[in-house]
Amino acid sequence: MGVRKVVGAHQSQLTGQFLLESLLLSVVSIVLALGIVKLALPSFETFIGADLSLRQQDRVWFGSVVALIALSVGLLAGSYPAFILSRFNAARVLKGFRVGLQGGTLRRVLVVSQFSIAVALIGATAIVFRQLEFMRSTDPGYAVNQLVAIDDIRNSEGVTSQFQSFMGTVSAQTGVADVALSAYTPADNTPAGGWNLSVETADGATMRTSFEHLPIDSHFLSTYQIDVIAGRGLSDENPADLKSSALINETAARFLGYDNPSDAIGKRITDTWPRDAEIVGVVADFNFRSLQQPIEPLVMRVIPDQFGVMTVRINNADVGGVLDRLRATWREFEPTRPFQYRFLDDAFAAQYQSEERFGQIFGLFAALAILIACLGLFGLAAYTAVQRTKEIGIRKVVGATVPQIVVLLSTDFAKLVLIGFAIGVPIAWLSMQSWLNGFAYRMTPSIVLFGAIGLAVLVTALLTVALQALRTASADPVTTLRYE
């Protein structure tokens, strides 16, 4: 730049050159980015389970946004050299002029900003996966392992026409501990909906309300290993249980004002379909929806017309053998329809697939952010090393060791990373608190979690700087002092 000014270049020419170069880099980057997007889009659509193709009417809008991004990035990136550096005096530049505090401050602000974003994304990713781990490790109130659900029972004519025989054959098979029928499974996150009813409350009044309802048979509690905390469960040996008995959960008992669940036993439920019922038992709360939602009042009773799922509890390790026998039994009774089954622990985990994808996408963005931040830090370290070349040579001459110089060069960068950490952590904390508020059961982000993130980011940054610092510190001081 100094030579060009000496031979007659005007400031406007230098400004135009800097802006043009920056715009060209931005345009090339946008073109490469669009190519990567085109190649990655099919896999990304499969991953998130959505179609992201642009409609015809959106293409002009999309092209305009991309062009605006290319123009904005090019102008912003080129503005500093174009409007600041091009004003410097040619003589000062040729004498080895150093960019002053203004440029140094800008570079440090950019590095701090990059690490703030990286820390915020890493923190958000960590919170997402900790929440997923928390939900998967939380007891849902029933034993989800070793359960196999067979769907489409109601629409299988061969099974429904010989239902008792089919149930007896399945129950008698080796490896089958218990068999239950229900409208849906707790792992499906699809309750049948509100059931309008009238029920006597603890103060003797009749409350008109709406409860979630789950049609079940008498083996449901034993198959899912759900505890009865007051009264009793349903029994095939009691004809009334098949017609006019009902179970409620703890939440329903509390909702009705019964601090002692036993006090709810014997209360009548009226104004219901298909007939009124009497509460014979209160069961321990279990999650019949995902942990994103609180447990709501639930009533359970026998309504055979609404049974759509058979759940089989397997009691040995020969899962494959049990499934083969179930498949053979199904074909015997229903040769025209396929045997469809699923493990409930898989269905339980599938409730949180969207959160898992969310976390993986955040993780990808966090990795890219830390990569970009480290690139910026490496560039700043290289620039600083060049600026302090003579200083380093003098320090070595007067006895400074290589480790001391590496620490000297790294300390300033560690401060930038720590400032970025201090800014990024509150951003991650506040933004993810609003996301966590969408879960009825949630973990609490700990200081230890963010401390581990800070340590990891700091180590990554220092390793990035260490290579450049070590190379500079190891240089021969004679060569260093001859610099310029």
Residue pLDDT, tens place only, 158-183:
777 787 888 889 888 888 999 999 98
Work out the pLDDT band at 101, boundaries 50, 70, 90.
Answer: very low
Query: Which of the 8 DSSP states describes residue 173?
Result: S
> Which tokens belong to 282?
């209160």
Shared domain for 90 and 24, answered yes or no, is yes
373 and 470 together in one domain: yes
268-283 confidence digits (pLDDT tens)? 998 766 778 899 999 9
Residues 416 and 479 in one domain: yes
**Predicted local confidence at residue 233, as pLDDT:** 93
* Same domain assignment for residues 307 and 365: no
Least confident of 32-41, 61-70, 391-400: 391-400
Number of domains in the chain: 3
Interatomic CA distance for residues 431 and 435, integer angstroms: 7
| 314 and 369 inside one domain | no
One domain, residues 187 and 119: no
Is residue 477 predicted with pLDDT exceeding 70? no
Q: 328 and 265: one domain?
A: yes
Q: Are 209 and 341 in a shared domain? A: yes
Position 222 pLDDT exceeds 90? yes
State residue 411's pLDDT score: 85
Q: How far apart are CA 151 and CA 148, in angstroms?
A: 10
∠450-452-456 over CA atoms, to 5°?
Answer: 115
Please give the residue range of the domain that contains residue 17. 1-97
Where among 350, 365, 389 does a domain terminate?
350
Average pLDDT over residues 336-344: 86
Do 292 and 232 fall into the same domain?
Answer: yes
- Asked if pLDDT for residue 258 goes beyond 90, the answer is yes
- Predicted local distance difference test score (pLDDT) of residue 193: 63
Output helix, strand, coil percentages for the chain, rounded to the nearest 5: 60, 15, 30
- Residues in the chain, total: 484
Mean pLDDT for 32-56 is: 85
Residues paired with residue 249 on neighbouring β-strands, in sequence order: 283
* Single residue among 350, 367, 390 that ends a domain in this structure: 350
More reliable by pLDDT, 428 or 352: 428
The answer to whether 310 and 180 are in contact (CB under 8 A) is yes
Banded pLDDT at 203 (limits 50, 70, 90): confident
Q: 124 with 428: CB under 8 angstroms?
A: yes
C-alpha span between 150 and 331 (Å, rounded) = 13
- Asked if 134 and 190 sit in the same domain, the reply is no
Measured from the Cβ of residue 50, the count of other Cβ atoms closer than 10 Å reads: 8
The mean pLDDT value for 184-204 works out to: 79
122-134 pLDDT, tens digit each: 988 889 888 888 8
Query: 378 and 406: one domain?
Result: yes
Q: What is the mean pLDDT of the chain?
A: 84
Percent of the chain topping pLDDT 90: 21
Q: Using the 3D structure, point to which of 350, 377, 404 is the last residue of a domain.
A: 350
Q: Is the pLDDT of residue 257 over 70?
A: yes
pTM, rounded to two decimals: 0.71
Over residues 75-84, the mean pLDDT reads 79
> Between residues 154 and 338, which one has the greater pLDDT?
338
Q: Are 268 and 199 in contact (CB under 8 A)?
A: yes
Alpha-carbon span 345 to 349, nearest angstrom: 6
pLDDT band at 480 (very low <50, low <70, confident <90, very high): low
The answer to whether the Cα torsion of 410, 411, 415, 416 is positive or negative is negative
Question: Cα(first)–Cα(last) distance of the chain, in Å?
Answer: 17
pLDDT in tens, 412-430: 888 888 999 999 999 988 8
* Residue of 35, 37, 23, 36 lying closest to 67 (CA atoms): 23
Average pLDDT over residues 446-468: 86
Query: Does 259 lie in the same domain as 210?
Result: yes
- Spatial separation of the C-alpha atoms in residues 312 and 322, rounded to whole Å: 10
